[in-house]
Amino acid sequence: MAFWKKILQKEKEGASAPAQKQHAHEHTEASQTPVKSLAPIHAQDAFFAPLMTEKASNAAARGQYIFAVSDGVNKPSIASAVARRFGVTVMSVRMLRRPGKERRRGRITGWKPGFKKAIVTIQKGQTIELQ
């Protein structure tokens, strides 16, 4: 229930914000709140780990590298993080979300968590050394 209270509270704050902005014109500029900008995501925050599977190693021969990434990142932030961390030129980024899976142990069922992964294509002739 606490989750829904937070959602409803954010919606209520969002609905009251336009009413406050109408009166903000009458006051000085110092009283207005600054516009929030998206903070850049650092390379260590964007990545969890490179995925080392047979399919990923075959893709690496074609210049594509697969990373498990955090849920809040987008394509431009992944591209800049890979370029900064490995010193390569990123040509494209494709992202997908793997759903969680149900796992059973006898009568007890549980869930294996899903994750988000990014397929990063780098410029031809460049490589990334993954361990």
Higher-confidence residue of 118 and 129: namely: 118
Above 80 in pLDDT, residue 79?
yes
**Does residue 11 lie within any of the structural domains?**
no
Domain that holds residue 80: 38-100+110-126
Token output for 8: 């409803």
Q: What is the mean pLDDT of the chain?
A: 79
| Between residues 62 and 13, the one the model is more confident about | 62
Count of the separate structural domains present in the chain: 1
- Does residue 119 fall inside a structural domain? yes
pLDDT, one tens digit per residue, over 15-61 is 655 555 454 444 444 444 443 335 555 656 677 788 999 999 999 99
The predicted model gives 103-111 an average pLDDT of 94
Percent of the chain's residues with pLDDT above 90: 47
Instruction: List the one residue out of 27, 23, 91 whose CA is nearest residue 62.
Output: 91
Confidence (pLDDT) at 118: 95
User: Would 12 be classed as within a structural domain?
Assistant: no
Instruction: Give the CA distances from residue 65 to residues 73, 107, 112, 124, 131, in Å, rounded to whole numbers and listed in that order.
Output: 17, 39, 24, 13, 13
- Alpha carbon distance 71, 79 (integer Å): 15
**Is position 63 within any domain?**
yes
Q: Is residue 32 part of a domain?
A: no
Q: With 90 as the cut, is the pLDDT of residue 120 above it?
A: yes
pLDDT-derived band at 94, boundaries 50, 70, 90:
very high
Strand partners, 122: 90
CATH code (residue 54): 3.30.70.330
